[in-house]
Amino acid sequence: MCGIAGFVGKGDQATLAAMCDAIEHRGPDGRGSFADSLRRVYLGHLRLAILDLECGAQPMWNETESVCVVFNGEIYNHRELRGELTSLGHRFASDHSDTEVLVHGYEEWGEDLPGRLNGMFAFAIYDLATGRLFLARDRFGEKPLFYVSIPGFFAFGSELSAVLAHPATPREVDSAALRKYYAHCYFPSPHTPYRAIRKLPGGHCLTMDVRSGAVRIREYWRFDIPAEPQAGNEDELAEELRFLVSQAVKRRLESDVPLGILLSGGVDSSAILACAANYADAASLRTFCIGFNEPSFDESGYAQTMADFIGANHRTELCDLEKARLSLPAILRKIGEPIGDPSLLPTYLVSAFARKHVKVALSGDGGDELFAGYDPFKALAPSYLYQALTPRKLHPALQRLAGCLPLSDRNMSLDFKLRRWLRGVAYPPALWNPIWMGALAPDEIAELFGTEIKTEDLYSEVLTAWEQCESKDLLDRSLVYFTRFYLQDDILVKTDRASMQFALELRTPFLDNDVVEFARRLPRWMKMHKGQRKYLLKRAFQSALPAETLHRRKKGFGIPLARWLRELPVPADMDTTPGLDPGAMRQLWERHRTRRQDNRLALWCGLTLHYGLAGASSSGPSQPACPETAVHSASGRWQETTEDAQP
């Protein structure tokens, strides 16, 4: 787990150093760089040492110094790939570095390499012989990768701040992307807040010719659900699922540094702990949870129950939510890419707590998306009936009636869910999920930006995925939405940015290639059966988890956001966000403060956007300088380039 940055074109080593400084928190254990001044190619790496502590420095080269890589992530099948590559004649210099597998794997398989990897990764490989830069991101985008490509200049980095640290990066804000942000509470790939900067989507790779500047992007993998699911006996499928999850956990337990598990007490993280207990003494397993002093937001009791059931070494840190509220501006400035998910704060707090004790942690992310764990999945059938039976003219009256319900500040209160459900079912089924999950409906976004909004433009990525899905089942199509968008651009963004602020590596066993392939081919009734979500997952682990864990209500990782936003001071310059109507934003605040509306998500999006843009654009290191520095120079590549050099 690390941070990477680089560019082709204008700039020098000082420019590269500034890009690396911006993401220094991602790799406090070492720094490496490479410069090909003749071709104006610069690569930087910040290391968080997890595997092969002695021989894992980067950039890493092949024997002839013709191929090098800078890499962020972990390759869980690196031992199998190493064996295969060794049998093909490749010689490895390291003992068990997963990074070196990428170098030799590219030599052997070229651009087909990403499809052979089981892991989380974002890497850049420089092929000196062909003059190509090859970038790739893992299937779900667990590890981030931003880039900018304009005539005469190309740059990339692990976070927005790294790309923005290069003075040649255009900084024009993309108002169309901002509208999508308020529609989703995140920026759907490839969009970012900036017109010129893009996110390489998960499952994609990018090839750049450093001579011509030509860039080609290719999709090498896409999550989909087939029209014809696999057949199988329920008992056999449950047994297979338990084996695959256990195997995925085993792969992610490999570490040369202390490792733990983030435990919420829900089914997903509890299943991870139960599997880990198959490979280690239970008392040696370190688990971490944060508790809150407000009962409707606290899950620590469930986590303690599960830890006691297994016999794990469990730690809980009790957090005062009111004190945590005071730290919000500082936290939001550090995150970089704005994200409208309020669970960012508790994720940030539990990451800080776990990092005091371990350097790597396993999490249960992905289970809800793959096995239908979210509340909206239960709303699909009632929504279908509602649209079929309710006259369209009656719907606005029902919305007004729901609007008269008293506003509650409780976590996922009934009035909150009812209002959002009614807002979504006013639209076609393809838009139910994004509108249920988003901050504002299309008409509200149009008012906020003071412009006409075309719904098909606002949700273009979601509508395309809905039509592309092989299965036409409503649940399956919804799973595709949550897996390809909500998981990638919300959940994984949140966990990466929060954990990497403290140089904590998070690993997600449910996103293992084999688990995902199994899950996507399951019949729909194995995911949700008679209203029970995660049916097969619970069936698979029913003997390994306590009944209280299996049957508890889903709580979510929430904060008292609605109440906080009535008390938080509004930043004086928040009205300056490009494209927004200042008057409309002030009305959202006023209606929320006077309890006329619950605008918690819209206002949170506004705050995270304001502070995130300010933080991403700021320069300078966020942590003390790295203790180690390693610079690689290929012979004859250190001569100075002019500022107006073209790639």
> pLDDT class for 533, splitting at 50, 70, 90?
very high
Residue 203: both structure tokens together: 């499952």
Question: For 254-266, how does the pLDDT look when each residue is reduced to its tens digit (9 = 90+)?
Answer: 998 999 999 999 9
Assessment of whether the complete model's pTM goes beyond 0.85: yes
Q: Which of 222, 240, 259 is the last residue of a domain?
A: 222
Q: What angle do CA 545, 548, 552 make, to 5 degrees?
A: 110
Please report where in the chains the tokens 């002019």 appear, as a residue: 642
Least confident of 182-196, 340-354, 389-403, 461-475: 389-403
Q: How far apart are CA 192 and CA 173, in angstroms?
A: 9
Residue 631 lies in a domain: no
Residue 613 lies in a domain: yes
Closest CA to 494 of 262, 276, 272, 304: 262
User: Domain with 217 in it: what CATH number?
Assistant: 3.60.20.10
Closest CA to 241 of 371, 139, 115: 371
Average pLDDT, integer, range 14-40: 95
Q: What is the DSSP string of 75-131?
A: ETTHHHHHHHHHHTT---SSSS-HHHHHHHHHHHHGGGGGGG--EEEEEEEEETTTT
Q: How far apart are CA 113 and CA 281, in angstroms?
A: 36
Which pLDDT does position 575 carry in this prediction?
67
Q: Look at residue 292 and tell me whether its pLDDT is greater than 90.
A: no
Residue 123: both structure tokens together: 């890497």
In terms of domains, do 264 and 216 share one? no
Is the CB of residue 111 less than 8 Å from the CB of residue 218?
yes
Residue 254 lies in a domain: yes
Average pLDDT, integer, range 487-503: 96
Q: How far apart are CA 212 and CA 201, in angstroms?
A: 24
In terms of domains, do 85 and 148 share one? yes
In terms of domains, do 230 and 198 share one? no
Q: In sequence order, what E strands does 158-306 have?
A: 197-199, 204-209, 215-219, 259-262, 286-292
Report the domain count for the chain. 2
In terms of domains, do 19 and 57 share one? yes
Please give the residue range of the domain that contains residue 621: 224-626
Question: For 204-218, how does the pLDDT look when each residue is reduced to its tens digit (9 = 90+)?
Answer: 999 999 999 999 999
Closest CA to 310 of 255, 366, 261: 261
Residue 643 lies in a domain: no
Question: For 309-362, how does the pLDDT look when each residue is reduced to its tens digit (9 = 90+)?
Answer: 999 999 999 887 777 888 888 899 888 899 999 999 999 999 999 999 999 999
Above pLDDT 90, what percent of the chain?
Answer: 74
User: Domain with 378 in it: what CATH number?
Assistant: 3.40.50.620
Above pLDDT 70, what percent of the chain?
Answer: 93
Q: How far apart are CA 200 and CA 381, in angstroms?
A: 35
> pLDDT class for 404, splitting at 50, 70, 90?
confident
Q: How far apart are CA 300 and CA 33, in angstroms?
A: 43
Q: Look at residue 528 and tell me whether its pLDDT is greater than 80.
A: yes
Is the CB of residue 459 less than 8 Å from the CB of residue 106?
no
Residue 644 lies in a domain: no
In terms of domains, do 390 and 457 share one? yes
Residue 645 lies in a domain: no
Residue 635 lies in a domain: no
Closest CA to 123 of 207, 62, 66, 197: 207
Around Cβ 220, how many Cβ atoms within 10 Å? Answer: 17
Q: Which of 222, 256, 280 is the last residue of a domain?
A: 222
In terms of domains, do 312 and 215 share one? no
Please report where in the chains the tokens 């904590």 appear, as a residue: 504
Residue 640 lies in a domain: no
Sequence-ordered list of residues with C-beta below 8 angstroms from that of 42, at least 6 positions apart, any chain: 6, 7, 8, 11, 12, 13, 15, 16, 33, 34, 35, 36
Closest CA to 208 of 148, 119, 164, 165: 148
In terms of domains, do 586 and 472 share one? yes
Question: For 546-558, how does the pLDDT look when each residue is reduced to its tens digit (9 = 90+)?
Answer: 999 998 877 666 7
Start-end of H helices in 174-252: 175-184, 234-252
Average pLDDT, integer, range 469-487: 96
Q: How far apart are CA 315 and CA 586, in angstroms?
A: 43
For the stretch 497-519, what's the b/e string if a residue is b when 16 or more beta carbons lie within 10 angstroms of its beta carbon? bbbbbbbbbbbbbbbbbbbbebb
| Amino acid type, 385 | L
In terms of domains, do 210 and 229 share one? no
In terms of domains, do 208 and 296 share one? no
In terms of domains, do 340 and 416 share one? yes
Q: How far apart are CA 361 and CA 261, in angstroms?
A: 5
In terms of domains, do 117 and 252 share one? no
Instruction: Tell me what the pLDDT averaged over the chain comes to.
Output: 90
Main-chain phi, psi angles of 585, to 5 degrees: -65, -40
Average pLDDT, integer, range 434-453: 95
Q: Look at residue 581 and tell me whether its pLDDT is greater than 50.
A: yes
Q: How far apart are CA 198 and CA 206, in angstroms?
A: 12
In terms of domains, do 270 and 378 share one? yes
